[in-house]
Structure 1
């Protein structure tokens, strides 16, 4: 299943994509394994708390957000949001399966540079059993309005 807002956002921008079903997986890394895709090319969403509202950090599933680097980039104190904080923001998605397309949800987005210029990128479609697969150049177009930077580190 693809989340309604995500589908509308992709189709409104005429961005081609495929769907890839996989067995249920709770985490992004488990999802990469279940779908047999490289974890460093599976974009995962991490909701960040700012005083002004939520911020979405998009990083490879094999990494974690480097809050120090992200704070320096955004020039403000930030914190990791609780998973429950995603529910009102990504209201058409299963808990913990938010797509990395904050723009479809009116959430400012920052993406790690390592997810740019790839051949193929995968990301959650809004549930724990489906991935969106996009050519890297289309994903780059999708994320071009997001801020870009070096915002992750090894887990």
Structure 2
């Protein structure tokens, strides 16, 4: 079991306790929730967005869908999905499609959905399609303390 080196170094320097949960290869967050038997609301997924100047990692539960229009209106920014090429360049040590929820480890701005705040445990991709990072909800929120947050998702 291994997670991306940049993510590991970030977690280690933050001084939080975390675990790594190995699982069979999966390509979607809902598939990951099924194969790991983790509540999909506790599995945080990252959606990488961009505007004309910055990249933003939107973090929301696996069982939700992002509402880009709501994000655009709330933050008055022309946010759209980042290209696969840009995501690969930003998350250079991660497998394609496995960007971690801790975008701050990669120098990205982060916006998280408020629905994640009440979880006792949080899991998210470790930069691979076979490993999740497990944090207590409190430690996850500690790592999100500088992030913007709001309500920007709906049921999938």
Alpha-carbon distance in structure 2 between the residues aligned to 1:130 and 1:84: 22
Alpha-carbon distance in structure 2 between the residues aligned to 1:123 and 1:141: 15
- Counterpart of 2:117 in structure 1 is 116
Per the alignment, do residues 118 and 96 of structure 1 end up closer, same or farther by CA in structure 2, a change over 3 Å counting? same
- Counterpart of 1:143 in structure 2 is 144
Instruction: Write out per-residue CA displacement over residues 77-116 of structure 1, whole angstroms, 9 at most, x where no aligned residue.
Output: 1112233331000001000001010110000000000111
Q: 69-78 or 33-42: which moved more?
A: 69-78
Do the aligned residues in 2 keep the contact of 1:117 with 1:140 (CA within 8 Å)? no
Query: What residue ranges of structure 2 are gaps of 5+ in the alignment?
Result: none
TM-score (norm 2): 0.96
Query: What residue ranges of structure 1 are gaps of 5+ in the alignment?
Result: none
RMSD, aligned CA:
1.0
- Residue correspondence of structure 1 range 65-144 to structure 2 within 5 A: 65-144=66-145
Runs of 4+ in 1 over 3 A off after TM superposition: none
The size of the alignment, in residue pairs, is 155
Alpha-carbon distance in structure 1 between the residues aligned to 2:132 and 2:54: 27
